[in-house]
Structure 1
Amino acid sequence: MELFTTFDGRLNRQRFWLGVLVLIVASLVLGIVLSLLLGGMGEAGLSLASLLLYLLMLYPGLAIAIKRLHDRNKSAMPWAIIFFGPGLLLQIMQVLGIGFYPVQFESETLIVPDMLGMIVTLASAVVGIWALIELGFLKGTKGPNAFGPDPLEQ
């Protein structure tokens, strides 16, 4: 549980990916529950469910990301804000109806981005890919660093 609750220390890639897998499963389960609870409110309810899910996963996601940054010998700031900020902004915009508008397609209502929504969505995707490479694929610092001992040597 410490994997998702503390920000101290370092995390190797294997434990990072294990944490990501746990968060994906938790997100799927919580997403279904929140959609069932709030889906009756229409698009606004689904946008709210999406924001709530993001906020619920933010703390444990930050915990594993920050420890992974520490393994790469990088301070949490500003990287945590850079990696998580665009996604949070995107969620808030959707809830507030900024940058997105509904389009009726046959019997379904689709929420599509306008230019602002497209820019923030694209920025969020680019930053997400960058974070994925930085946190999930690049090796950590060999030996001890300012954030603790090498997790591979323990």
Structure 2
Amino acid sequence: MGKINLWTLYTSLQGRISKRTFLLWVFLPIAVTRFLASTIDTALYGVPSSLSELWPGVAGTVKRLHDLEINAKHVGGMYGAWAVAIALFLFNRTGSNVVTPGLMAAMVTAVLAIIYTLYVFIPCCFKPGIEGPNSYGPDPLEE
């Protein structure tokens, strides 16, 4: 494994990264940031940390999917599902304990977004990459 260029890792959507690089340089920093944000940024509802980790998370996930020879459109689908779920929650808040049909749709969409996120992230974290070069670039373990 060669030297890691963090700028390229966090900004480019091209190429592939290994499972180890994904876990150490993409997943772990985002998990730590989320943990710290839960205590530090509560007044701002976690928005600053969420925005700061959005693009590195997208870039790292895209490259990891490329290593698995999976189209990165799944990342767009995952974020799209979350955007729909959040929008439904925001537009269907009533301030009462009554579950309206719109709120039920928001909950169902959120559950589907969680399932889709797990569908994308479990292979990224546990499945070994395709050996040798693939259509997205050379094997990151051979460099």
TM-score by length of 2: 0.77
- Which position in structure 1 is the counterpart of 2:81? 86
Displacement of 1:137 in angstroms is: 1.7
Output the CA distance in 1 between the equivalents of 2:51 and 2:84.
11
Query: Structure 1 residues 59, 13: CA separation in 2 closer, same or farther (over 3 Å shift)?
Result: same
Deviations 1:98-125 (A, max 9, x none): 2444457xxxxxxxx9311211111111
Q: Which has the higher strand share?
A: 1
User: Is the Cα contact below 8 Å between 2:88 and 2:105 reproduced in 1?
Assistant: no
For structure 1, which runs of at least 5 residues remain unmatched after alignment? 39-48, 105-112
TM-score by length of 1: 0.72
Output the CA distance in 2 between the equivalents of 1:54 and 1:85.
16
User: Is the Cα contact below 8 Å between 1:90 and 1:121 reproduced in 2?
Assistant: yes
* 1:67 pairs with one of 58, 63, 70: 63
For structure 2, which runs of at least 5 residues remain unmatched after alignment? 1-5
CA RMSD of aligned residues (A): 2.3
Output the CA distance in 2 between the equivalents of 1:93 and 1:56.
24
Query: Structure 1 residues 69, 10: CA separation in 2 closer, same or farther (over 3 Å shift)?
Result: same
Output the CA distance in 1 between the equivalents of 2:41 and 2:121.
26
Relative contact order (C-alpha < 8 Å, sep 6+): which is higher?
2
* 2:28 pairs with one of 21, 27, 45: 21
- Which position in structure 2 is the counterpart of 1:30? 37
Deviations 1:61-88 (A, max 9, x none): 1011000011012332x21212222223
Deviations 1:111-151 (A, max 9, x none): xx931121111111111110122322222111011211111
